[in-house]
Structure 1
Amino acid sequence: STLAYSLHALAEILTVEQVEEDLCPIFDSFFRDVDEVKIGILSNLARFLKVLQLSTRRTYLDKLTYLTCVDNQRNWRFRFESANQLYELTSLFSSVDVGDYISPLTFGMAVDKVADVRHAAIKALSGCYSKFNSENAQIQTEVFLDDCHRVFASSQDWKLRQVYINLCESIYKLHVDTPDQYALRFLGRLLSLKEDPVVNVRLSLGTFIYQNLINNEFYIDLSDDWRSQIDECLQILLVDRDRDVRASVGGVYEARGTPLSSEILNDDSDSSIQNNTITLGDEQQNQS
């Protein structure tokens, strides 16, 4: 178990040849081990793979599913660590490999029942998007956007619609798109959530827009049509029936004179995500 946690440190002081000849067999035996040992190599997976030649590193892509698969489903920290490592791995592979292997695994983790796992996966998904953008990988970008819209923005589960807002914020903060390109890819779906039936979704939307998308260069550089759509969205949220939503977009936060609404205000239990099976890009085409 101790060796599993320190294998990456050994790899960083040996030659590539020594690592591939002597350490890779040990590494391979560990990820077929019990969860307690497996999390040792998982927590430093990117650092270990970074040492290897690309050709050797790529042989581990097929094994990622097995490596990030946990025996005990209640062990959410294992899934959390997996999502963190998937983010680190996006810089070690090509956009094609990221699209084929890393992005599908990350989508699976973004629908996890545990909020911390979803948040780590959101960061990893924004890493995938950044990789596709930097290599002008048009096919991978289109598949990614389609999956984002279908799995998150159009979900029946409010927590996944909230994931879409959080992902849009994470991608916005990368500053890898021009304002109009970002708007074209994300803003239409994002603004359509302004009348979502769940208050937490509208609250997340209002907070993101008010704190990031107005009174700045992004807003100034947008085309008139997108600016007017943002303005309309803010006007609707300013008269929202929930005072927290109104406050999120700069409305006056008045004292609550009526009992709490029956809407979900702060549901921290993740019980509503019942089924985390999703269909991504190519699978969808194969099934249709």
Structure 2
Amino acid sequence: IHTTPLPPSPPSFSLNDSPPSPSLSNLSLAPPLSPSSSASSSPLQLSHSFSSSVLKPSPSPALPLSLPPSLYRALTASLSFPLPPYGAQIFEDNCVPVVHRFGNANAEMEDQAIGAIILDKCAAIFGREILSEMLPLIVSLSQNATFRVRQTIAGALGVFAEVLGEKQTEQDLLPLFNTLSNDKIWRVRKECVAATLSLSRVLPVELSKPFLLVRYEQFVDDASRWVRTAAYQNIGPFIATFKGEDIDDDFLILFTEMISPKMKSKVGDPFISECCSFSFPGVFQTIGKDRWEQIKECYQNLVKDPQWKVRRSLSYSIHDIAQIAGPEITKNELLECWKTFFTDLDLVKSGVIKNLAPFVEVLPADIREEEFKLALETIENEQENWRFRKYLARQLARLSALIPTLVESFFLPCALRLSFDPVAEVRKYAVTQFGLMIPLLDDKSIQEFTTTLMSKSSPPSTFYERQIFVDVCGSMIDQVNVQFFENTFMNTFFSLASDPVPNVRLLVAAILAKKMNRHSKWSAHQKKVTELLNQLKMDKDGDVVAAAAQ
């Protein structure tokens, strides 16, 4: 579930116990110097020297050498110097030898680093067959004396697994993962943490669950705080790779305890609660509502977290949690959390207002009016933050269907008031709600609504009110049946094509041209529509003419 706005991602800083050094994938590696190269050679000369010595054109004149475009882009993005374009497309005979040349045990350290980078960046392009042939090279690089090479291979294990598939991952990559996850350098072990997600997706659950659980328990107890932090940051997505019935309590314990004071002190990362709150909906969806009790305390602690970013993430996802949990849990557990968020900071409060309708939809119908009437009035009367009124305006029709007892007393009058809101964004959404609300009204309410709206279309109305009237008509044209519009607003709407204010005529012209002209729904009125459009095409205002000619 990804309907909540992304909180600022867990820190992208280099997680290090000492001053950071760039990761291999971001290194600006200069091309290896040829024996004839001098220290004063220009970057262009070095690039040409490297590419011409490694990627030699085919001797056959019928097959000039070229890289496939996708590989060319990947290599260019990986390395700091450009690769020259050639003519035709020869892939395996030229690119694979490049990797072997750079990655073999006798190559220079920088060459081996480049070989590891190419493998990492281009594994998906190579495909299963070519990558299988490179497994001995991958094994060799994973045992390289330079930790940066091992770090790159460890980070690429997930990609390798997705390319090679289940059988080769189990046979060839798991031993490498096992070795690298015990590497003496923490940066290598940290890269293995991220690889667990792909390994879990590729391997059968009967193998991945016991094997990766042991490894994950090792990572969360690692000597390096950066490995521990990475493990806790990834535990939510890791759990989500399993099916609900495959999740052990041990996994959930790791997830729920990550926000305990003891664990926060152990991890030493203030963002760990944010990671937990962001992953919570996905974890809950994975395990299902039957196991709510196992994670309930964790959720309640997150709701009270002192960091507003944690609470904001939960406020934006509480409707998702409710839809997974069902009516009873929502009524008994989540409703109080919703009220807590509604009285929080605006940055938190906005989440529950923006997704009000889907949350109300889960609650039992008999308590909706009682629980939300006051909150709805509070939102409408919000003066300092107009976005709250916009969020309400967008949901009025849906809320009307969910709480029909408030349609005539609150939702319809609210829609009328918000249609004349001083903020254009609020008006834009409010005017779109009437056509969807009309089927919910009785005859008396429809008559009152029609009378109120018609009063905005004729003297002593202002041109601003007539513009709103035209906007409402424009939205109803798509939503109501033809007979209703004919009996209520059509004649007045047509008459505004001769309004003395160009802005009113402009709106009428745009609606006639885009929504009514040559539309089968309004075919009975095509003659009148054509007549009005011809009139507006002769208008003295150029913008009106342009709108009518669309």
TM-score bin, normalised by smaller chain: 0.7 to 0.9
Return the match for 1:69 from 381, 387, 391.
Answer: 381
The equivalent residue for 2:323 is 12
Moved more, 138-147 or 198-207: 138-147
Alignment of 1:50-89 (within 5 A): 50-59=361-370, 60-70=372-382, 72=384, 75-89=385-399
Is the Cα–Cα contact under 8 Å of residues 38 and 67 in structure 1 kept in the other structure?
A: no
Change (3 A) 1:13 1:228: closer
* Paired residue secondary structure (2:373): coil
Is the Cα–Cα contact under 8 Å of residues 35 and 70 in structure 1 kept in the other structure?
A: no
Instruction: Note the C-alpha offset of 1:195.
Output: 2.2
Change (3 A) 1:114 1:152: farther
Q: Which runs of 5+ in 1 are unaligned?
A: 252-288
Alignment of 1:88-103 (within 5 A): 88-94=398-404, 96-103=405-412
Q: Given residue 63 of structure 1, which amino acid in structure 2 is its aligned partner? A: A
The equivalent residue for 1:41 is 352
RMSD: 2.6
The equivalent residue for 1:115 is 424
The equivalent residue for 1:182 is 485
Change (3 A) 1:69 1:7: farther
Q: Partners in 1 of 2:519 and 2:382 — Cα distance?
A: 44
What CA deviation, in whole Å up to 9, does each residue of 1:230-252 have, x standing for no partner?
A: 4554454243222332343349x
The equivalent residue for 1:145 is 450
Q: Given residue 172 of structure 1, which amino acid in structure 2 is its aligned partner? A: I
Q: Given residue 241 of structure 1, which amino acid in structure 2 is its aligned partner? A: K
Q: Which runs of 5+ in 2 are unaligned?
A: 1-310
Is the Cα–Cα contact under 8 Å of residues 42 and 85 in structure 1 kept in the other structure?
A: no
Alignment of 1:123-272 (within 5 A): 123-132=432-441, 137-151=442-456, 156-174=461-479, 176-177=480-481, 179-222=482-525, 230=529, 233-250=532-549
Q: How many residue pairs end up in the alignment?
A: 238
Return the match for 1:26 from 331, 337, 341.
Answer: 337
Q: Given residue 516 of structure 2, which amino acid in structure 1 is its aligned partner? A: L
Instruction: Note the C-alpha offset of 1:146.
Output: 1.7
* Paired residue secondary structure (1:197): coil
Instruction: Note the C-alpha offset of 1:229.
Output: 5.3
* Paired residue secondary structure (1:241): coil
Q: TM-score, normalised by structure 2?
A: 0.40
Q: Partners in 2 of 1:198 and 1:157 — Cα distance?
A: 10
Instruction: Note the C-alpha offset of 1:107.
Output: 1.5
Q: Partners in 1 of 2:345 and 2:511 — Cα distance?
A: 41
Is the Cα–Cα contact under 8 Å of residues 99 and 128 in structure 1 kept in the other structure?
A: no
Is the Cα–Cα contact under 8 Å of residues 80 and 117 in structure 1 kept in the other structure?
A: yes
Q: Given residue 50 of structure 1, which amino acid in structure 2 is its aligned partner? A: E
Change (3 A) 1:65 1:151: farther
| Structure number, greater radius of gyration | 2
* Paired residue secondary structure (2:489): helix
Change (3 A) 1:155 1:9: farther
Instruction: Note the C-alpha offset of 1:218.
Output: 3.5
Is the Cα–Cα contact under 8 Å of residues 151 and 160 in structure 1 kept in the other structure?
A: yes
Q: Partners in 1 of 2:444 and 2:429 — Cα distance?
A: 25
Is the Cα–Cα contact under 8 Å of residues 455 and 461 in structure 2 kept in the other structure?
A: no
Q: Partners in 1 of 2:319 and 2:521 — Cα distance?
A: 41
Normalized per residue, the structure richer in helix is 2
Q: Given residue 244 of structure 1, which amino acid in structure 2 is its aligned partner? A: D
Identity of aligned residues (%): 27
Change (3 A) 1:43 1:144: same
Instruction: Note the C-alpha offset of 1:120.
Output: 0.8
Is the Cα–Cα contact under 8 Å of residues 79 and 117 in structure 1 kept in the other structure?
A: yes
Structure with more relative contact order (C-alpha pairs < 8 Å, separation 6 or more): 1
Q: Partners in 2 of 1:238 and 1:108 — Cα distance?
A: 34
Q: TM-score, normalised by structure 1?
A: 0.72
Instruction: Note the C-alpha offset of 1:155.
Output: 6.7
Change (3 A) 1:35 1:233: same
What CA deviation, in whole Å up to 9, does each residue of 1:124-173 have, x standing for no partner?
A: 233222443xxxx2122212222222246667332332222121111111
Q: Partners in 1 of 2:506 and 2:473 — Cα distance?
A: 15
Q: Partners in 2 of 1:199 and 1:127 — Cα distance?
A: 29
Q: Partners in 2 of 1:78 and 1:205 — Cα distance?
A: 30
